[in-house]
Chains A and B, each alone.
Chain A
């Protein structure tokens, strides 16, 4: 073999000039993506800040600069109360989710509870379902008059009135709490599984008993994980719109999100006051996310080593059946009961808290799903179409963006990568409804308003960080030399991305795609702010039915959404492991 130079290589490459050497595929792509992401993330927040200082005159025509909106936050008849309710709901559901999440994680990771491997996937199901639909289901289960559980209590136990009532702030705490339990679970279960067993063993050898070891060693070691999970639940609950909208707002317990909603749409719409309330809510959530990302998340790695330890499994003796019962009860209450109730209600023409087998039919499904029929409800059929389009396009675009952004953050070092890294955390700090308010005030006068594009923009901006984290976790596990060796083999940056990087990241890309697809399919709090007639989404369809039609129709569409989500979960489980969820 002799050395010979091949065409298109160094020998006949022109000497690159000073400026041309700066213009590479990589640098151009980095610039474009940075500007796009920067604009998408920062523009709505900037407009939100500006709008919050615009005061609408009583006539509703002119605006002036001032702090009046901020004064209104304190002087309004409802807003201060809504603020307190939001904090109460967040605190309450954080407590519920943390207690349930930590105990279930401990049972699954560290005890000999029977069939715990089989139970785990079911513990995670609420994570993927819509809390709004959960609220509708619980409304059907435990309203004072029309709740199935209360009807049974009257019938079988002979109770007057009702046994439980979820149409209040406690109902909201309960439903949000059980729906966000998997968040805490996921943050804690990994640390519990990967903890070095010798840490506990050494406590046992000093004479500490099981309970004492658990309390003084195990739980403190997973404390950062618990705290992270708790903060995420607190912030997510504060930004949750569907549950308080369904269960508490109609009964006098407004929250910040329901108030923002009423200022964004409806008769007394005041976008500027809505923007100010969004600022208040965003300030709280951003603060907590900052604390979690900056101080707590980094610490959670110090207790856990990367080695694959076999954790200590605690023999619960006969108590293991109690643990099993506890876990099964959670699955029944969080998953089985609500879905079953939705299904039963959806089969009735009207719901009177009584199961009437002879009345049952699939009429409600025909009216909400069969768009070709003349009696089909437009908001529902539109919603399914639009949501499928948005979920498909949104997940695809967001994953392409995530791929390029992850590549820039983790493969090119320098100022640009730090800026992008920051931009990827910012959207997580703001609830969907807050970001949507920003998007609304930014783009309301542009042609994209009242189209699906504005929804797409809102979805991608708020949720692409989840896709980005999915890819980044896979990317960090793949040696950079795999990319570099392609460059050395003569492939350009783009060719390397296409032929080496993307094929290697395929599992991460697909898992992220399905996760985003699920999130977009059930999205409510962004959609509710940005939709107009014709651009309803699936959850907006549910909202429409619960507002203007009856419970059985609402339940039918909710059921359809739930079934679609359950199918996605099955796909997700096949392509991604548990780790893909702990973003």
Chain B
């Protein structure tokens, strides 16, 4: 019963459905995750990512599907199985941290071990260990109310991992921290997770967080999975316009595939902004000859040049050039379309200047709408 399935999947979610009234919060979601990996569920609020997490935690029932961890069925609607949350052996870090204010840091962290009736001496040793790991060794006697936000965050993490659970769940744990602390905690969280090696599922709406920490990312929208993949893959090869736009910034132009020149490569005719041009593109999954597609180009892959060096060039005018130190954030007018361009400061682009935009076919992607 506790064997790991043949595919090497540790966490398995199959056909998960959860309705709130007539609203399908989670609409037929399936995914799996190998042991020790860090998965992020990414999407805007209301996309079903937290509902998915709560379903895994067992904090609410589900309307269809199966959830398995390490071969043990946690929830199965069809078989009427529902393991109560306390039997799931899961560590969880909540958005509000949920550090119990009537206990000290040490008491908070010791709690899961006390529940598991671990010997007092071992509890002390393990609590001290884990507090050292999260950097709260000298805070153990403090009350939760005396901690800063970042420290509460660490305490919550310590409490979640102290029992060495089978699975670690994070519900937007960094969203209440300020930007500086958030950036620091991302790296820290990843380091600690790597060190303890517990399979983790992380929920966030912050794409930067997802890119920094994850082994795998699932981009969700309206209760469905849009794309699953590694951070690099999701960023460089988004499957559709939604993912492309949600992860990072992209220039999106509607068009139609008018020619396939090589496997995975072709021409897309753009009729946007009063222009009609053919762009040479990488064709994404599900994009075929004659079909409508969206061309997606990241701002850093658009090069604004003063001279027309031939090839795939678009002539435009600099609308706006905002100097941001290590780069210049530009808007370039091309008919009615505005290109977002990242330029190098040494190019010294000025507003009102005429430029030629060079698109590298390697990084010009045609994706599904």
Contact = CB atoms under 8 A, between A and B. Distances in A.
A10 B74 contact: yes
Interface centre among A3, A489, A490, A493 (most CB of B within 10 A): A489
Given A1-B195, A3-B166, A488 B85 contact: yes
B164 interface: yes
Interface in A543-568: none
A15 interface: yes
Closest 10 CB pairs of A and B: A18-B80, A9-B89, A481-B98, A489-B112, A485-B98, A488-B92, A481-B94, A487-B85, A490-B115, A10-B89
A213 interface: no
A72 B219 CA distance: 74
B197 interface: yes
Given A9-B87, A11-B2, A490 B116 contact: yes
Interface string B75-97: 00001111111111111101110
Contacts of A6: 89, 116, 118, 163-164
A8 B116 contact: yes
A446 interface: no
Contacts of B4: none
Contacts of A481: 94-96, 98
B134 interface: no
A486 interface: yes
Given A481-B95, A488-B91, A491-B86, A11 B115 contact: no
Nearest to A495: B115
Interface string B299-311: 0000000000000
B212 interface: no
Nearest to A8: B116
B164 A489 contact: no
Contacts of B115: 489-491, 495
Interface in B47-66: 57, 59
Given A10-B89, A490-B89, A503 B102 contact: yes
Interface of B: 1-2, 36, 57, 59, 69-70, 72-74, 79-92, 94-96, 98, 100-102, 111-112, 115-118, 129, 133, 156, 159-161, 163-164, 166, 169, 195-198
A4 B116 contact: no
A3 B197 contact: yes
Interface string A1-42: 111111111110101111101001000000000000000000
A482 interface: yes
A437 to B, nearest CB: 42
Given A21-B82, A488-B57, A489-B115, A479 B195 contact: no
B72 A11 contact: yes
Contacts of A4: 164
21 contacts: A1-B133, A2-B197, A5-B89, A6-B89, A9-B87, A10-B166, A11-B166, A15-B1, A16-B82, A17-B81, A21-B81, A479-B98, A481-B98, A484-B57, A485-B100, A488-B160, A489-B86, A489-B163, A490-B86, A492-B84, A493-B86
Given A1-B164, A6-B116, A11-B2, 5 more contacts: A6-B89, A10-B87, A488-B160, A489-B91, A489-B159
A9 B89 CA distance: 6
Interface residues of A, number: 38
Contacts of A484: 57, 59, 85, 92, 94, 98
A500 interface: yes
Given A3-B198, A482-B100, A492-B86, A21 B80 contact: yes
Interface in A250-276: none
A208 interface: no
A485 B92 contact: yes
B65 to A, nearest CB: 15
Contacts of A497: none
A4 B69 CA distance: 14
A172 to B, nearest CB: 48
A24 B72 CA distance: 20
Nearest to A486: B111
Contacts of B92: 484-485, 488
A14 to B, nearest CB: 10
A457 interface: no
Contacts of B85: 484, 487-488
Contacts of B86: 487-493
A565 B89 CA distance: 50
Contacts of A19: 80
A484 B57 CA distance: 10
A504 interface: yes
A503 B103 CA distance: 10
A9 B116 contact: yes
A314 B59 CA distance: 51
A503 B69 CA distance: 33
B111 A13 contact: no
A333 B111 CA distance: 55
Interface centre among A17, A484, A504, A506 (most CB of B within 10 A): A484
A17 B80 contact: yes
Given A2-B164, A2-B197, A11-B72, A24 B98 contact: no
A9 to B, nearest CB: 4
A10 B72 contact: yes
A506 B69 CA distance: 38
Contacts of B96: 479, 481
B152 to A, nearest CB: 12
A490 B81 contact: no
Nearest to A491: B115
Contacts of B94: 481, 484-485
A15 B81 contact: yes
Contacts of B83: 10, 13, 16
Contacts of A24: 84
Contacts of B129: 1
Contacts of A503: 102
A479 B163 CA distance: 23
Contact of B90 (A3, A8, A11, A488): A488
Nearest to B35: A3
Given A1-B197, A481-B96, A481-B98, A10 B84 contact: no
A484 B82 CA distance: 16
Contacts of B79: 18
A16 B82 CA distance: 7
A500 B115 CA distance: 12
B92 to A, nearest CB: 4
B116 A10 contact: no
B55 to A, nearest CB: 13
Interface string A461-495: 00000000000000000010110111111111101
Contacts of B163: 6, 489-490
A356 B85 CA distance: 74
B70 A11 contact: yes
B71 to A, nearest CB: 9
A11 B1 CA distance: 9
Nearest to B72: A10
A486 B90 CA distance: 11
Contacts of A493: 84, 86
A21 B116 CA distance: 21
Given A9-B89, A481-B95, A484-B98, A489 B82 contact: no
Contacts of B80: 17-19, 21
Nearest to B109: A489
Interface centre among A10, A482, A495 (most CB of B within 10 A): A10
B154 to A, nearest CB: 15
A499 B115 CA distance: 10
Contacts of A491: 86, 111, 115
Contacts of B82: 16, 21
